[in-house]
């Protein structure tokens, strides 16, 4: 780390801060457009964006050494903040999922017929599995024959996959007729950059952290 030119550290910090800003602005934009409470449907984009753009991004960035608001906290406290945020993410995702399924049921429409609906279903199931499996990190004795280090590695890899699925579902959600009609095509391009940019930053930070660990080990 010390031998790295300083500019790398500044760039990473700038990207992390930009990701915080982009995810918060994106959540605000969807909240304003969907006007939660105005209909059953309105809860769906609002709760899903809150879950995957806000809570999940913040939960992952908690561990970022660049630009995390809790970077001075001990690792144990960061872990606690992380799982609280992930529980909030899963709660919002479950409620957002229930809202759209109920809304479609009321309208008498068939379920999971679009790419967004299918990807969304997979995302919510994977997020649920990921959170359930994460209990083994708090109680490692539940899983016999697996070291904590191995559990953490699998948890991190599966977590990144869940994040990519969440960003993909958000991207397909904002590609819906409803969203494009609400904001127009030019604003859509700008909005579509949000999940793309946040996934890129999260992936590059994870790769970077992995490489730094490998360098330390060798």
Applying CB under 6 A, the residues found at the interface with ligand HEM are 30, 44-45, 48-49, 52, 97, 100-101, 104, 111-112, 114, 116-117, 120-121, 123-124, 166, 169-170, 173-174, 176, 178-179
Q: Which residue's CB atom is positioned nearest to ligand HEM? A: 120
**CB of 59 vs ligand HEM, minimal distance in Å:** 14
Residue with smaller CB distance to ligand HEM, 191 or 206: 191
Q: What is the smallest separation between the CB atom of 51 and ligand HEM, expressed in angstroms? A: 7
For residue 13, the tally of other CB atoms under 10 A from its CB is 15
CA–CA separation, 123 and 131 (whole Å): 12
Q: Min. distance of Cβ 13 from ligand HEM in angstroms?
A: 27
Nearest CB to ligand HEM, comparing residues 38 and 147? 38
Whole-angstrom CA distances from 165 to 78, 98, 113, 120 are: 24, 19, 18, 8
Min dist CB 190 to ligand HEM, Å, is 14
Rank residues 66 and 165 by Cβ distance to ligand HEM and give the closer one: 165
Count of alpha carbons within 13 angstroms of residue 8, beta-carbon side: 9
Among residues 34 and 68, whose Cβ is nearest to ligand HEM? 34
Cα–Cα separations (whole angstroms), residue 136 to 37, 74, 158, 201: 37, 21, 14, 27
Nearer to ligand HEM, 67 or 166 (CB): 166
d(CA 46, CA 35): 8
Kindly list the distances between the CA atom of residue 187 and the CA atoms of 165, 199, 211, in Å, as whole numbers in the listed order.
23, 20, 37
């Amino acid at each position: 780390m010390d031998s790295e030119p300083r500019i790398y550290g500044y760039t990473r910090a700038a990207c992390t801060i930009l990701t915080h800003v982009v995810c918060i602005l994106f959540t605000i934009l969807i909240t304003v457009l969907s006007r939660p409470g105005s209909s059953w449907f309105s809860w769906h984009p609002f709760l899903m964006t809150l879950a995957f753009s806000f809570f999940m991004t913040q939960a992952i960035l908690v561990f970022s050494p660049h630009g995390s608001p809790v970077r001075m906290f001990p690792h144990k406290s960061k872990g606690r903040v992380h799982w609280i945020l992930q529980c909030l993410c899963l709660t919002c995702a479950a409620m957002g999922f229930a809202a759209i399924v109920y809304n479609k049921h009321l309208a008498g429409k068939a379920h999971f017929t679009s790419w967004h609906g299918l990807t969304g279903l997979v995302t919510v199931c994977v997020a649920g599995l990921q959170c359930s499996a994460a209990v083994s990190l708090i109680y490692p004795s539940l899983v016999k024959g697996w070291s904590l280090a191995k559990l953490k590695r699998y948890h991190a890899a599966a977590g990144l996959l869940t994040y990519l699925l969440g960003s993909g579902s958000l991207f397909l959600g904002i590609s819906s007729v409803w969203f494009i009609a609400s904001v127009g095509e030019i604003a859509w391009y700008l909005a579509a950059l949000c999940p793309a940019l946040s996934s890129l930053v999260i992936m590059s930070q994870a790769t970077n952290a992995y490489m730094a660990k490998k360098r330390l080990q060798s």
